[in-house]
Structure 1
Amino acid sequence: MTTTDAAIELDEFLAHPVDAVWRAITTPETVAKWWSAGDLRPVVGHEFTMEMGPWGTQRCRVLEIEEGRMIRYSFAEGVLDSTLTFRLEPEGTGTRLFFTHAGLDLDSPLGRQAYEGMGRGWPGVLARIPAAIG
């Protein structure tokens, strides 16, 4: 039996308005500053790649958009076959970022390694967003 419902879920407050955070998570030049280089565009169906250093080039596809509020895309198609979701909610003068990395297969050695490694890594990656906004 395969368990593909493992998810990494994070909730971060960013002291920037929603529109600034939205640009930071959907603009390739800014995403490259806090995470990875790639040709992401916030358009449903857009296929793109992320350059993940020692983990290679990962194929992705935008699955869902709520303009200015949420983007969901496949991540590492054919390798991890997981999804990343960034959801934004205004909070005071800042933004609450809800992040989910879902679909990691804990029955697979690669899936388990990704779940454990990315579970430790994502908090630090997301913490770099404010500096990328400026």
Structure 2
Amino acid sequence: MTDQMTDPTTQTLVIEREMPHSPEKIWRALTQSSLIEQWLMKNDFQPEVGHEFSFRATPVPNWNGVIDCKVLVVEPNSRLSYSWGSFGLETVVTWTLTPSKNGTHLRMEQSGFRSEKDASYKGATYGWQRFIASLEHVVAEAN
């Protein structure tokens, strides 16, 4: 069995941003269910390793709108990782927060795509750009 993180046959999507906020403030937006709903989707997330949860979007033809997930890593204010299962594809989303001179360096990595040409990879590339822009707005507005 190969590890998705090192399997050369899979593709990884990486999006990085510098945010003028503390890691603690960004962490809240990544781990509090009510804040996650504001920038991503409805959910029953809890920052506990092993917790199974789902993201729920508006159903569309050929998709019920549910993404099945499981928390894999919780390192407060530093690293969060969870599985992301939808459309028959199992990927892993990892958030890494690194303090920087002007706030925090945010890195979002989603690994396990079959190909850069795959519709799931293309959809994720588009979707995460929008979601992270929304995350930045929620973090800026949150107390």
**Taking structure 2 as the reference length, what is the TM-score of the superposition?**
0.82
Detail structure 1 runs of 4+ shifted over 6 Å in the superposition: none
Question: Between the two proteins, what is the percent identity of the paired residues?
Answer: 28
1:89 aligns with one of 85, 98, 115? 98
Distance 1:4 1:75 in 2: 18
Verify the 8 A CA contact 1:18 1:88 in the aligned structure 2: yes
Deviations 1:27-62 (A, max 9, x none): 111011111110111110000010022341111000
Question: Match for residue 26 of structure 2?
Answer: 21
1:127 aligns with 2:136: no
Secondary structure of the structure 2 residue equivalent to 1:64:
strand
Secondary structure of the structure 2 residue equivalent to 1:40:
coil
- In structure 1, runs of 5+ residues without a counterpart are none
**Taking structure 1 as the reference length, what is the TM-score of the superposition?**
0.88
Question: Match for residue 76 of structure 1?
Answer: 85
1:7 aligns with 2:15: no
Deviations 1:51-96 (A, max 9, x none): 0223411110001121210010000167210010000001124111
CA pair 78-123 structure 1, distance change in 2 beyond 3 A? closer
What root-mean-square deviation, in Å, do the aligned CA atoms of Structure 1 and Structure 2 show? Answer: 2.1
Verify the 8 A CA contact 1:16 1:130 in the aligned structure 2: no
Verify the 8 A CA contact 2:66 2:86 in the aligned structure 1: no
Distance 2:42 2:10 in 1: 27
- In structure 2, runs of 5+ residues without a counterpart are 1-6
1:115 aligns with 2:121: yes
Verify the 8 A CA contact 1:3 1:106 in the aligned structure 2: no
Verify the 8 A CA contact 1:6 1:102 in the aligned structure 2: yes
**Which is richer in helix?**
1
